[in-house]
Structures are given as C-alpha cells and as structure tokens.
Structure 1
C-alpha cells in the first residue's frame, strides 16, 4: 500500500517520493480509477462551462464573457500546477526554515526566470519602446513606498501564522485543509481593515510622491531581463550549498507509468516552476496578469459598501495597478480565475488521492484566523499578494515586485524565528 498523505499543522503534504527499496503498486486500484475518472469529469465540466460562459452576456460590472472563459482555463492550469508541484509559498518556506530543503525555492526562482523571459517578449509587443515613459497595459507595476514594504512584511507574518498565502489556501482547501477555510474568512476581514486604514496611509506616506518604477524604462528590455536573471542566478548560487533532495521514483513504463507521473508522483520542482512561469506569461498575453486577491477584496468592498461601512473616498486606490478591488454585484475577472484554480486543484488532488479532511484545534483555528486577517490587510495595502505582486510584478520588471518580495521574506523569516508556524 502507498504511504498515506500526512497532515502537518494544517498542511496536507504529499508522501515522500518512493525509493527503490519500496514495492510500489504497478497498477492503479479500482478506487484510483474512479477518482481519476471523477477528476477528468470535473475538468471536462470546466471546459464545457468555459464554452458556455464564452457565449453569455455578462452582467454590468462583471467580466467580459470571452475573458471569463479564458480565465477559467488559466485558473485551472494554475491550480493543477500548484497542487501537483506543491507550489505553496508557506510549504516551500517552511521546508527551508526547518529542514534546509531548498528545492521549493528553486521552483520559485524557475517560475520567475521563465516568466521574465516570456514577459520580455510579450511586453515588447505592447510597448515597443520602453524608454518612452509609457507603462505596459494592466501590468502589475505598483508604487514603491514604505506602505508597500509594510504590506509585504505583514503578509509574510500572516502567511506563517495561518500556514499559507492566499493562493496556497485556495488550493489547499481542496485537499481538505479546514485551517485554510478559517484563514480565508480572516482574509476577508483583513481586507476590510485595509480599506479602513488606506486613506491615512495614502495621505501620509503615498500621495503623489510614489514612483511606479519600471526597470525597462531605464535599462531597456535586454538590460532589465539580464538584471533580473542575474539576481535570480545569484540567489540560486547561494542556495547551492544545500543540495537537491528530490528523488526520482522507480521508473514505471507504459500507461501506468504515465498515469503515476501525471497524478500521483509529485512533479519535480523545476518542472513545476516552468509550468507556473508559462501559465503566467500566457495569462498576461491573453487576458492580464495573474493574481488571486482581487475577487476576495472585491467581496469585502462590496459588502462594506452595501452596509455603508466603506469610506466615502479611497484616495488614489483605484488609480494604481495591481489586484484592484471594485464594488460589483457579479463575479469579476479575477473571480473566474479563482474558480478555475479551485476546480483544477481539486481535480488534481482527487485523482492523486490527496483529499483528506484535517482536524484543527482551537489554537490552530485562532492562529489561522488572525493570520488570515494579516494576509488580507497586507494584500490590500500592498495591492496584491505573492502571486499578483511577487510573481506577476517581478516578472513584469516592476521594482515594486522586488520590494514586496524582500519585505515578505523578512516578515516570514521573523515569524519562523519565533516559531509561529507551530501555533
């Protein structure tokens, strides 16, 4: 029998890659086939839904139908990649903090590198002359301010305390992670706190002084790409002191081997990074940058607006690029991506037998709720999260992406230092 999936502190971990001494089943069981069949049916239903949505008239304030259909598919691809490759910023950070396992960090570096190369090609189509002073359309190039750094720092602490970033919670809830559900509730509350504190932060620290620094403006595409790859290569070299711990499962050929590699065995870190990077580039080319926070923030903003609890004016908020929130009575663009992500991740987890309902104690639930509040406040204040600002921003050569990344790492490191992940 294969090793069971282990639930560690609210995180559903895939079993360790098998070693040659173990006797792995060469054929899937009937239960495996049923789960895989249901997962394929889910994905087929998603494809059908995308086709139907493509031909619908979407309500005012909602998404353009064609974009919604594409976003469903992009989200599904992202959810599958996240789940199959365990592309979870908390899991990856915890592996390094506790066991000095740097494989997940290499996966992130790969995603950033592949995305930067792809973005350079796409951006050159949208803005042929980057030195002319015009920013590319919809790219997540945010203001570089102390508020951005504060948001990233708080987000990092919230990630460790809640056991996941927003994207991680969205995909891990499909594995049965009850803690992730609690954290997402806290995230909605955190967005509300962010709206209430925004005006004071904007008037005191942002205003009209905030530069939206885009590296190609001064370096050109070639220089910005080389600088980005150089930084990533430097980080990769620093991680070189910790050898890869990835192991290759025993080779199983034929249909069974293909099935295991696709749905059972964890995808290699570098492959996962390549897939995530390519999905990000495709998303920007077709519909816009990746991000998972805008729909959640829009839910909170809409509820507060309906209750008359939203500030009458949110100074400058809607003028900035990033995971923008709106008052809407329908699913916005980002909502379709989130739906696709959840369905794709659930299909992948179900097919691989990784759906396990976890148990969460009172302490863990409180930690998840408080951590979620910090996630929501940090994401609203920084205009995005680890996907929308760190991945999409950095890949688009936005200085704001690097500032968020540095502050996020500092916040997470501090939280790990005080063992907040043990709560």
Structure 2
C-alpha cells in the first residue's frame, strides 16, 4: 500500500495537470481578468476568477466544518504575522504581475505553450523568491517581520464573528455561504458570462482544485510520523523549490508543491500539443525583456513577503477566510490597479 507521502505527491501531480490544462484552455489569470474588465470592459475572465474563489471558499469551508481538514495547520491561519509586510509584498507582487503580463501560475501555463518569455519569468521569479526567503534579501525581510509582526487573538473571519458570542463553527457556517454566494452571484450577474460555458467550467474546476489540494495534504497526507504540510495551490515558493530541486535533487525529496508546479507545466504542454496551440514565442525587444525581468523580480520578492500570489493568497489563502490573506490580497489588488491605471500605469510597449 502506498505511503501517505506518495499519495499526496500523486494527488499534487494530478491537480497540477488539470490546472495546467484548464488554465491554458480558459486563459485563467487574475491580471488578465482585471485588465480586460478595467481597460476593455470585458469582465468574463474576472468573473471566472470570482467564481473560482466562491467555489474554493464553499468547498474548503465544508471540509473544515466536517473536520476533514484542520485548516489551522496551514500558514495562512498562524496567529503571528506581519500585516504591513504582507500588504507591501502584495503591492510588489501585483505591480510586478502587470510588468510581466501575468503571475507565476500563468507563466507556467504559457511556458507549456512554447512562450520563452515565460521561461525567463519563471526562472527569475524563483531566484528572487529564494533570495527573499533564504538568500541575500532574507535578512531585510526577517528584520521587517520581527519589527512589525503581531500576535492576533483571532486569525479568520469566522473567528472574528464568533467574538459576538456565537460558536466558531456556527460563525463559519454563517459567513462562508454568504461570502461564497456573493462571489458566485457577482460572477453570474453578467449575461455574456452566463453564456460562456468554458469560463464557467474553468471557474468551477479551479475552485474545486483548491479544495482538492487541502483534502490531499490535510486528509490523505495525515501521517503522525511523517505529516505533509497542510496546503493547496500556490506558486511563488513552490517555483523556487522546484528550481532548487532540479539543480540539487540529491538529498532533497519531492513534495506536493514541487509536483504541482511540474504538473501545471506538463498539463499545459500536453494540452497545447493536443489542441495545436503550441508555438514558439520570444521577446520583441531588449526593453520588453527588461520589463518582464523586473516584474518577475517584484513578483518573487513580493510573493515571498506576502506568503503567496494571486492564486496562493487570492484563492488558497482566501479559501481559509484568513484575515492575513485579506490583507495580502488587498495589496495585490492595489498593486495591480496601480500598474493598470493612474499615474504609475504601465503603458504597453509599442514593439510588444
């Protein structure tokens, strides 16, 4: 019988393969959704993201209510965190996402389609993240963390509501449906989206993949002797860990995060070849490349500070209803808004 660790690895690979395929076919991406909504008036992609978020929250909170998964073991619900660092990291990530024309997960998907610009983004993002977590930038990050961190008496929205005198379980069953329903209603309150069956399917599938990640690591990976970290889809630290594993695999072991990264790339590649979407793409100018690298640096460093990305915090983190995740996502949204609108707007390159 396979060990719990092997089951988690297999589950992570399958989840990654499905995400890669769906991401390629649907164009799933927070930044693309916001750009289409704000700049072009087409909100279908952002509504796909909202639907995925609503499904992820509903399914994840159901696992928590049924006590299938202990979300309190995840990094998102730890009592000690730095709200200023997470917000600032989110700002950097969001702005970098616009510079690089997509987040880390989108870069993996596009790399599978033959986009060599995404190869540069993935490598630079991983290096910047590793530098921020363990390398040259780490001392500065740790100093800011120690200076600004706080110990919260409540870590999630249900726990906050429970301060009104109700049990946290009741608060969870009250808050989760309201938040989830609000997001789903927003998604379907748009006639073109109601007819976009591909986008609807993508939102539902990706939302369920978030819950599947929690189930794999929190339930299938439950092993008193060798427990797996309780987590789901996220891409900043995992991309860094994947690059490290590829270079120094001796003495290192595969885990859920690494195999999901491998799975996303592979799922996109296989889908691109099967649907004849694969074609080589590269940079059109040195300035195009410089902008892309700059964005990848900001995403790697910012994502490491914020403990996640537009998927890692925007979907996985928010599915736990963690207060820290709301802070990080607020930073990501504002950073993205600054890159798409206003005085700091990143204008399209004429040659790109």
Q: TM-score range by the shorter chain?
A: 0.7 to 0.9
2:111 corresponds to 1:187: no
Aligned equivalents of 1:156, 1:224: Cα separation in 2: 27
Match of 1:209 among 144, 148, 151: 151
Match of 1:198 among 116, 141, 164: 141
Does the 8 A contact of 2:100 with 2:121 survive in 1? yes
Match of 2:322 among 391, 398, 410: 398
Match of 1:226 among 177, 185, 199: 177
Does the 8 A contact of 1:191 with 1:380 survive in 2? yes
Does the 8 A contact of 1:161 with 1:371 survive in 2? yes
Report the more deviating stretch, 138-147 or 343-352. Answer: 138-147
Does the 8 A contact of 1:101 with 1:245 survive in 2? no
Aligned equivalents of 2:179, 2:125: Cα separation in 1: 31
Match of 1:346 among 255, 259, 269: 269
Does the 8 A contact of 1:148 with 1:403 survive in 2? yes
> Which structure has the larger Rg?
1
**Using a 3 Å threshold, how does the CA distance of structure 1 residues 106 and 280 change in structure 2: closer, same or farther?**
same
The alpha-carbon deviation at position 274 of structure 1 amounts to 0.4
Q: Normalising by structure 2, what TM-score?
A: 0.80
Deviations 1:17-44 (A, max 9, x none): xxxxxxxxxxxxxxxxxxxxxxxxxxxx
2:160 corresponds to 1:160: no
Report the more deviating stretch, 168-177 or 213-222. Answer: 213-222
Aligned equivalents of 1:281, 1:421: Cα separation in 2: 37
Within a 5 Å distance, the mapping from 1:21-420 to structure 2 comes to 64-126=5-67, 136-138=72-74, 140-141=76-77, 143=81, 145-195=83-133, 196=137, 197-206=140-149, 208-209=150-151, 213-219=155-161, 220-229=171-180, 231-232=182-183, 236=187, 244=192, 268-287=198-217, 288-298=231-241, 329-360=252-283, 361-417=285-341, 418-420=344-346
**Using a 3 Å threshold, how does the CA distance of structure 1 residues 365 and 246 change in structure 2: closer, same or farther?**
farther
Unaligned runs of 5+ residues in structure 1 are: 1-53, 58-62, 129-133, 249-266, 307-326
Q: CA RMSD in A?
A: 3.0
Does the 8 A contact of 1:191 with 1:300 survive in 2? no
Unaligned runs of 5+ residues in structure 2 are: 162-170, 218-230
Report the more deviating stretch, 343-352 or 291-300. Answer: 291-300
Aligned equivalents of 1:200, 1:232: Cα separation in 2: 37
The alpha-carbon deviation at position 212 of structure 1 amounts to 6.1
Deviations 1:79-119 (A, max 9, x none): 11111111122322222232111001110111111111111
SS of corresponding position for 1:164: coil
Q: Normalising by structure 1, what TM-score?
A: 0.67
Aligned equivalents of 1:374, 1:404: Cα separation in 2: 15
SS of corresponding position for 1:420: coil
The alpha-carbon deviation at position 302 of structure 1 amounts to 8.4
Report the more deviating stretch, 213-222 or 359-368. Answer: 213-222
The alpha-carbon deviation at position 227 of structure 1 amounts to 4.0
Does the 8 A contact of 1:298 with 1:328 survive in 2? no
Aligned equivalents of 2:255, 2:68: Cα separation in 1: 26
Aligned equivalents of 2:246, 2:270: Cα separation in 1: 31
